[in-house]
Amino acid sequence: MFRVPSLVLDWISEKVLHFGRITLLFLDAVRWAVRPPYRIMNILRQMDFVGTKSLSIIITTGAFTGMVLALHGYLTFRHFNAESLVGATVAVGMAREMGPVIAAIMVVGRVGSAMAAEIGTMRITEQIDALTSMSINPVQYLVVPRIIAGITMMPILASLFSLAGFIASYFISVAVLHISGGDFIYHVHDLLEMNDYTNGLIKSVFFGFFLTLIGCYYGYYATGGAEGIGKATTRAVVVASVTVIVSDYILSAMMFK
Amino acid sequence: MIKILDLKKSFGKEEVLNGLNLTIQDGEITVILGRSGAGKSVLLKHIIGLTKPDDGKIFVNGDEITSMTEKELNRIRVDFGMLFQEGALFDSLSVWENVAFPLVEREHLPKAEIRTRVAKKIDQVELTGMDDKMPSELSGGMKKRVGLARALVTDPKIVLFDEPTSGLDPITENSITDLILKTHEIEKITYVIISHNIKFALAVADKIAMLHKGKIYAEGTPAQFQKSRDPLISGYVSGNLNEIMHG
């Protein structure tokens, strides 16, 4: 009779526990980020992993997203003889939403999962205990560089995603769909505002922060053997993806009034 | 000297340490002997402050560590080296980088001094020429040797060993035993070793402390353990598991 309320209570208490622990990990990371030693090489290595090594996937997915947006925009706008608005639609959509959100989802899949798996393996094989035993704080050594890499690299990746999408949409529109290149650029210039781009950048900073913190969190608290690492990786990807989508709505509602 | 007073630790309803008392003397090899799951690793992690007890106190060279903050513990941990059960080597670093790690990341020594000290320790654990190997290319015994070199490279006052012979074949087990005795002969520092291996304990220990049901059941020299008529101790020494299981 009391089974359902008890299950609900268990579910709520588990979520509260996760929220509490991830908040503590975040506060710990902030505290250790400002304390020496500052491991610059460690931060640069993570920036390379998050940023440089994500370039090919970001540019490829950005280009194809731009192309498909141009195609659907053309198919809809031609009913109103407004095909030349395709460029503006793609540019605004990319700058405001597609660039930050899809780039973040791609990075969650590549980087968030890798962080959870790597830190989870370090937890299970006692490498994190080894760091602590050597008086090296594991949050400072493992979590802080990853979060810094996430918040610095994600805006660059989102910008490149948008740029790749915009260039690809231009070529599809002009070369395949026979839209005037001049009209395409004119409407982009007319309708795209700086605000669209800067708000997109601000959102991608938040996404970079969320996806690295969540990836590190699930790895840091991984338990069990290979199965535990598998669960941590899956949860990191699912929770980070959902967080990106939900926070995107909240941030957009605050920014675009 | 390490002094442990009335240490208690439970995980959920399972009582792992139940009022444990133990004194570990400087410069000796103390082996804490017990069955798998007896709480040996938990005890070791308490000694270096990786786990907090539910109750009780631990004094390391006169400093009470259980109530210390992480920052204060880091000051104490400088005196420790630790060899983990599977080595706990950093996967992405080579043998040389693993051994050099505490010197680079914690001590911030000049490069020339780091090179000298790392070469000396790698030589001491008989892994000369293996500097560039990655942990994935090493056998279980070699990983333990690298772990031991990393534990010793900072010249600690106390070295903790978590099951140094587990998972090794008899020949590698003997070579690790010899290595522990050899390094102790050179370093003359405190070694605290946890093990379930009675043959190993009798070979290396100055003192054996037997952990049973969350407490130290008996303490003594290897000779005293071998002569003991206590059914639990003699059962362990003779390998009669029945006595140990139901003792």
Is residue B178, in this structure, part of any structural domain at all? no
Q: Is residue B29 part of a domain?
A: yes
Those residues with Cβ within 8 angstroms of residue A49's Cβ, 6 or more apart along the chain or in another chain: A111, A114, A149
- B211: domain CATH number is 3.40.50.300
DSSP letter assigned to residue A37: P
Q: Is residue B15 part of a domain?
A: yes
Residue B85 lies in a domain: no
Which residues in chain A have their CB less than 8 angstroms from residue B45's CB? 129
Domain match, B165 and B240 both: yes
Q: Is residue B21 in a domain?
A: yes
Residues B236 and B162 placed together within one structural domain of the fold: yes
Give the burial string for B113-132 (b: 16+ CB within 10 Å, else e).
ebeebbeebbebbebeebee
pLDDT digits (tens, 9 = 90+) for A16-72: 999 999 999 999 999 999 998 889 999 999 999 999 999 999 999 999 999 999 999
Distance CA A236, CA A118 (A): 12
Determine the distance in angstroms separating the CA of A127 from the nearest CA of chain B, rounded to an integer. Answer: 5
Query: Does residue B247 carry a pLDDT above 70?
Result: no
Instruction: Based on the fold, state whether residues B164 and B243 are members of the same structural domain.
Output: yes
Give me A93's structure tokens: 């959509």
Task: Write the residue in A127, A135, A137 that is nearest to B88 by C-beta.
Answer: A127
Residue found under tokens 């003997």: B174
Residue type, B141: G
pLDDT score, position A2 = 61
Does B161 lie in the same domain as B117? no
**Domain total in chain B:** 2
Q: Assess B89–A contact: CB distance below 8 Å, yes or no.
A: yes
pLDDT in tens, A84-138: 899 999 999 999 999 999 999 999 999 999 999 999 999 999 999 999 999 999 9
Report yes or no on B142 lying in a domain. yes
Specify whether B63 is located in the same domain as B107. Answer: no
Q: Are residues B133 and B244 in the same domain?
A: no
Residues B35 and B13 in one domain: yes
- Asked whether residue B33 is assigned to any structural domain, the reply reads yes
Question: Can you give the pTM of this predicted structure?
Answer: 0.89
Q: Do A132 and B50 touch (CB under 8 A)?
A: yes
Q: Count CB pairs under 8 A between chains A and B.
A: 50
Handedness of CA A103, A105, A108, A111 (dihedral sign): negative
Give the lowest-confidence range in A56-65, A243-252, B224-233: B224-233
Q: Domain check: are B72 and B166 in the same one?
A: yes
Contact status of B101 with chain A (Cβ, < 8 Å): yes
Chain B residue numbers touching A126 (CB-CB < 8 A): 84-86, 88
Domain presence at residue B51: yes
| 3-state DSSP assignment of residue A92 | helix
Whether B117 and B52 share a structural domain:
no
Quick one: B72 and B167 in the same domain? Answer: yes
Find the domain containing B75 and state its range.
Answer: 1-79+157-172+183-247
Would you say A196 and A90 are in contact if contact means Cβ atoms under 8 Å apart? Answer: no
Q: Is the pLDDT of residue B77 over 70?
A: yes
Q: Is B108 on the interface with A (CB under 8 A)?
A: yes
Let me know how long chain A is: 257
B106–A133 CB contact, under 8 Å: no
Nearest CA in chain B to A35: B71
Band the pLDDT of B58: cuts 50, 70, 90: very high
B34 φ, ψ (degrees, to nearest 5): 180, 165
* Chain B partners within 8 Å of A49 (Cβ): none
Cα A34 from Cα B73, distance rounded (Å) = 20
The helix, strand and coil proportions of chain A, stated in percent and rounded to the nearest 5, come to 90, 0, 10
- Nearest CA among B198, B212, B225 for reference residue B20: B212
Are residues B84 and A130, on separate chains, in Cβ contact within 8 Å? yes
The 3-state DSSP class for residue A137 equals coil
Distance of CA A211 to CAs A53, A78, A115, B169, Å? 16, 39, 10, 44
- Quick check: B77 and A129 CB within 8 A? no
User: Does the pLDDT of residue B12 top 90, yes or no?
Assistant: no
Chain A residue nearest residue B93, CA to CA: A127
Contact between chains at A135 and B74 (C-beta distance less than 8 A): yes
pLDDT digits (tens, 9 = 90+) for A123-175: 999 999 999 999 999 999 999 999 999 999 999 999 999 999 999 999 999 99
Q: Are B102 and A37 in contact (CB < 8 Å)?
A: no
Give the ipTM. 0.90
pLDDT tens across B18-56, in order?
999 999 999 999 999 998 888 899 999 999 999 999 999
Q: How far is CA A84 from CA A66, A70, A93, A191, in A?
A: 15, 10, 15, 12
Spatial contact of B56 and B66, defined as CB atoms under 8 Å apart: yes
Tokens matching residue B14 = 């399972």
Whether the ω angle into residue A155 lies within 30 degrees of 0, i.e. cis, is no
Helix, strand and coil content of chain B, in percent to the nearest 5, comes to: 40, 25, 35
Same domain, B165 and B238: yes
Same domain, B101 and B165: no
Mutate: best of B69, B82, B85, B109, partner A, most A CBs <10 A: B82
